[in-house]
Amino acid sequence: RSALRSPARLALGSFALVILLFAGLLSLPFATADGHRAPFIDALFTATSAVCVTGLTTVDTGTYWSGWGLAIIATGIKVGGLGIMTLASLIGLAVSRRLGLTQRLLAAGEARASGLGDLRSLLRTVLVVSFSVEIAIALILIPRFLTLDYGWGRSIGYSVFYGVSAFNNAGFSPDPVGLYPYSHDFWILVPLGLGVLVGALGYPVYLNLVRNWRRPRTWSLHTRLTLVMVGALMVISAVLLAIFEWSNPATLGAHSTADTIGNIFFQSINQRSGGFASFDIGDAREQTWLLEDVLMFIGGGSGSTAGGIRVTTVAVLLLAIMAEARGRRDMEAFGKRVGTEVLRGAVAVTMIGIAIIVVGTTVFMAQTDIPLDRSLYEVISAYATCGLTTGITSDLPDDAKITLIVMMYVGRVGSMTIAAALALNKQRRVIRYPSERPLIG
């Protein structure tokens, strides 16, 4: 059992070490644009944000750090993103094997259907998909930056940075003012949006898509639920964003119709986890913040660099509600039954997430006196490693920065660990108590 739990402990320890390493690198004088040593709290914050692929920043990435600093941040994102996906793969494999050993008779074909078989082909898929998408994004962006007269060095550097940042859902931008100048530039927004979208799907989906692209009928339940949820959430959030922000001159109201629609979809993709912003969220309406609070909390796909409680967790909760409403014995989707033990896991992940966010927001508000709207947005953004902000991150006191660092670390590594522990820790008991039904609701 200790061997099965080791991926979780490995995640906790290795992420802490890697974060400290990158904080050390960012503390070196040549990492900043003006050659001064960055305050350790800002170096630690930026390193945590990079390695946990969050994207929140206490200093302006494009102006504060030197070219070396940007390279360190991009490396941190790449190392963090790979670490997340490979550890998630390891955990997934451990779960799959464990199920194979003890539950083969109960759930025949489960491990096979989920497409997890051997470690090497799994890691190969993760590496091939991530590098391919990152390089593809960079190759599309380089000519665009050249036409904007950025010169070869900066064009290549920015393009690689954006490729890594997009696929890993990191939300960091090397541009001094972020993506705002490109809000009319679909040559840049489209590849970034697609990169974020693909990056948020997760390795179990890549395995299905890479191996059985032309045979959707063979796709696993996990792949189908992920794709349906990602699509549905994108459409729902686009419609609601249009309702809330179309008439807001500070955000989308100033654009042409085509640009507004483009920015709405870019934001719809990014608000669950990507973290790129093509307009200033701080100027958006309160309704938009609340909508994005919910979407950030839901997050992306399991086994991806996206954060949140994951779309399949929410799908399982929805299946439970649908089964209740229809009075069915089983939770069902796409001709498959979802066991009640999965629902229990989903409840645990969701409720622990809500509890951490409530506690984190309470501490954050006590430290900063910032009202609930912006505090909740910031804390959820950190916990769900989304990286969008209403613009308060750079003015925070140090203790509030530490709160966000903890939220980023817990949101990233903690939820992996919890999910792993929940999935692996299955005891069997012989004695069962008599059943009794409390009233609810």
> Which residues, numbered 268-287, are part of the site for K ion (CB under 5 A)?
275
Q: Is 330 in the site for a second copy (CB under 8 A)?
A: yes
Look at residue 55 and give the partner it binds from a second copy, K ion, none, a contact being a CB closer than 5 to 8 Å depending on partner kind: K ion
Long-range contacts of 43-48 (CB under 8 A, 24+ apart): 44/19, 44/20, 44/405, 45/401, 45/404, 45/405, 46/73, 47/19, 47/20, 47/21, 47/22, 47/23, 47/76, 48/19, 48/23, 48/405, 48/408, 48/409
Report the nearest approach of K ion to the CB of residue 285 (Å). Answer: 22
Q: Are 277 and 179 in contact (CB under 8 A)?
A: yes
3-state SS, residue 395: helix
Q: Report which of 419, 416, 402, 378 is spatially closest to residue 54, judged by C-alpha positions.
A: 378
Q: Which is nearer to a second copy, 118 or 149 (CB)?
A: 118
Q: Which residue is nearest to K ion (CB)?
A: 275
Q: Is 220 in the site for a second copy (CB under 8 A)?
A: yes
Q: Which is nearer to a second copy, 73 or 408 (CB)?
A: 408
Window 150 to 179, contacts with K ion (CB under 5 A): 169, 171
* Buried-state track 243-261, b at ≥16 Cβ within 10 A, e below 16: ebbeeeeebbeebeeebbe
- DSSP label at 4? H
How many angstroms separate the CA atoms of 178 and 60, rounded? 9
Binds K ion (CB under 5 A): choice among 353, 360, 387, 411? 387
Q: Which is nearer to K ion, 171 or 178 (CB)?
A: 171
Report the nearest approach of a second copy to the CB of residue 132 (Å). Answer: 23
12 φ, ψ (degrees, to nearest 5)? -55, -50
Report the nearest approach of a second copy to the CB of residue 328 (Å). Answer: 6
Q: Which residue stretch of 73-81, 262-270, 276-284, 314-322 sits at the interface with a second copy (rule: CB under 8 A)?
A: 314-322
Look at residue 70 and give the partner it binds from a second copy, K ion, none, a contact being a CB closer than 5 to 8 Å depending on partner kind: none
Q: Return the axis-axis angle of helices 257-269 and 186-199, rounded to nearest 10°.
A: 20
Report the nearest approach of a second copy to the CB of residue 288 (Å). Answer: 9
How many angstroms separate the CA atoms of 245 and 236, rounded? 14
Q: Which is nearer to a second copy, 36 or 432 (CB)?
A: 432
Return all residues near 393 (Cβ < 8 A) that are at least 6 apart.
56, 57, 58, 378, 404
Size of the site for K ion (CB under 5 A): 5
Q: Is 204 in the site for a second copy (CB under 8 A)?
A: yes
Look at residue 362 and give the partner it binds from K ion, a second copy, none, a contact being a CB closer than 5 to 8 Å depending on partner kind: a second copy
Q: Is 329 in the site for a second copy (CB under 8 A)?
A: yes
Q: Report which of 95, 129, 102 is spatially closest to residue 222, judged by C-alpha positions.
A: 95
Q: Which is nearer to K ion, 52 or 221 (CB)?
A: 52
Q: Is 126 in the site for a second copy (CB under 8 A)?
A: no
Q: State the residue for tokens 């993709």.
A: 269
Binds a second copy (CB under 8 A): choice among 63, 177, 344, 391? 344
Q: Are 151 and 138 in contact (CB under 8 A)?
A: no
Q: Work out the number of other CB atoms within 10 angstroms of the CB of residue 214.
A: 5
Q: Which residue stretch of 46-54, 66-74, 120-128, 357-365 sits at the interface with a second copy (rule: CB under 8 A)?
A: 357-365
Q: Is 193 in the site for K ion (CB under 5 A)?
A: no
Q: Is 222 in the site for a second copy (CB under 8 A)?
A: yes
Report the nearest approach of a second copy to the CB of residue 151 (Å). Answer: 44
Site string for a second copy, 73-92 (x = CB under 8 A): -------------------x
Q: Which is nearer to a second copy, 153 or 434 (CB)?
A: 434
* Residue 58 amino acid letter: T
Look at residue 214 and give the partner it binds from a second copy, K ion, none, a contact being a CB closer than 5 to 8 Å depending on partner kind: none
Q: State the residue for tokens 């949101």.
A: 411
Give how far the C-alpha of residue 404 lies from the chain's centroid of Cα atoms, to the nearest Å: 16
Binding site for K ion (CB under 5 A): 55, 169, 171, 275, 387
